[in-house]
Amino acid sequence: MPSASKDGSRIRTCSSYRSPSHRRMQIRPGCPHYNRRLEYRRMSRRSRKPDAYRVEAEGLLDRLTDGGSELDRRLAADMIRTAVRLLDDGCDTGQMKMMTNALREMRSSWRVFADYKGIRKVSIYGSARTPEDHVDYTAARLFSRLMAEESWMAITGAGDGIMKAGHEGPTRDASFGLRIRLPFETAANEVIEGDPKLISFRYFFTRKVMFMAHADAVAVFPGGFGTQDELFEALTLIQTGKSNLIPVVLMEGEGGVYWEHWMNYVEKNLGDNGWISPEDYSLIHRASSPEDGCRHILDFYRVFHSKRYVGDHLVIRLRHRLSGEALDALNDEFADLVHTGSIEQSDALPEESDHLELPRLVFHHHRRGWSRVRQLIDRINESGGMAGDE
């Protein structure tokens, strides 16, 4: 075990070496014995070749489970292999605990959400300090109820204030609670407390991953640092293509000026300085009422269904085919999004396995300009022209 010398420096003891008085020798960093032990450890680490890790991990997986596809099993083996390598990487116990807890939290969350695949969900952000008699609270409760009436579910942070209002509207049956464990917030709100859809998190970053991973829309009400953090992260992920392209709606109670001041700040300090592009404002909708916020989200999915990549081609799934005239208009307006070729209408591609019945728009995308892609989706929804209408 490490100990301290008289001068306070750390020293190591080694039972392999004995002094004439048979007392344990103290091995100081820099001495030959200490350096020899370090070199032995390095040689031991180098001897563990990546192939050996792979065989070990895949063998362990074979013994533990027969489930999953071949690709999923390879990915699971890679996770095992990565975990084993951490032992040789010099990570301390705190780092090991963080990685272990983060993986455990994500696994637990996906298990809960797995029972609700195919159901649209809106993540609702806002202050835990909003009192129940505040107009913002009333607006959040009404908005979440309107979304539930359209068969949507609500995801909130499980606390009080806006989070509780977001659960009261749809009731607990249509609500998820993503609770963060904080010294001053030890319990969830009374609506979601005890529900199997209440998930606890130690880390903010894993919690925010789940907010965005399962959201088909984001609704933001006035709040503090946490609300602003969640809003700007959502906008950053959407703007850079690191998340699904979903609507972001800013809402508040009647007579509020919170978002007016926020937009003034963004326009003056970000837009006027060129830190964001003019098209980036397309990612944000400032709703005039809860009804307007609900309508904006539903309109986003009126014709547009979802998107994905197949190789370098962006595939946009539609609820119905577009008319030839509408397709020509899209090619004229959004040629800047196309790397080569043009925007074409198509059936499901051979590489796809989901939503095969839906028509597609397919084009060779240069993988940037996601705010322009949002404008493309808006134009698709506005066109409304079906092929049979020609």
Cα–Cα dist 100/116, whole Å: 26
Cα–Cα dist 103/185, whole Å: 23
Nearest to 186 by CA among 221, 154, 160, 155: 160
Helix (H) or strand (E) holding 245: none
Residue 30 has pLDDT above 60, yes or no: no
Ordered by start, the domain boundaries in the chain are: 3-41, 50-114, 118-299, 303-389
| Residue 100, CB-side half-sphere exposure with 13 Å CA sphere | 10
Please state which architecture CATH assigns to domain 118-299. 3-Layer(aba) Sandwich (3.40)
Whether 88 contacts 181, CB under 8 Å: no
Q: What is the three-class DSSP state of 9?
A: coil
Cα–Cα dist 330/367, whole Å: 18
Which residue is associated with the tokens 């925010």? 208
Cα–Cα dist 312/341, whole Å: 12
Cα–Cα dist 144/121, whole Å: 10
Q: What rounded mean pLDDT belongs to the chain?
A: 88
174-200 b/e (C-beta count within 10 Å ≥ 16 → b): bbbbbbbeeeeeeebbebbeebebbbe
Cα–Cα dist 334/329, whole Å: 8
Q: What is the pLDDT of residue 25?
A: 43
Share of the chain above pLDDT 70, in %: 81
Mean pLDDT of 1-10: 47
Weakest mean pLDDT among 8-17, 177-186, 268-277, 380-389: 8-17
Residue 17, strand partner residues: none
Q: In the chain, which ranges are continuous DSSP H helix?
A: 32-46, 50-64, 70-86, 93-113, 135-149, 162-168, 204-213, 225-239, 258-265, 290-300, 324-333, 370-383
Q: What is the pLDDT of residue 74?
A: 83
Does the CA dihedral 342-346-348-350 come out positive or negative?
negative
Residue-wise pLDDT tens digits, 272-296: 999 999 999 999 999 999 999 999 9
Q: What is the pLDDT of residue 104?
A: 96
Cα–Cα dist 80/321, whole Å: 45
Put the strands of the sheet holding 304-310 in their side by side order.
304-310, 313-318, 360-365, 338-346
Of the CATH numbers 3.90.550, 3.30.1360, 3.90.1150, 3.10.20, which one belongs to the domain with range 303-389? 3.30.1360
Q: What is the pLDDT of residue 51?
A: 66
**Residue with the larger pLDDT of the pair 367 and 55:** 367
| Residue 207, CB-side half-sphere exposure with 13 Å CA sphere | 22
- Cβ-proximal residues to 140 (8 Å cutoff; 6+ apart), any chain: 124, 126, 130, 162, 165, 166, 169, 219, 221, 251, 290
- Cβ-proximal residues to 49 (8 Å cutoff; 6+ apart), any chain: none
**Confidence at 58, pLDDT banded by 50, 70, 90:** low
Mean pLDDT of 149-161: 97
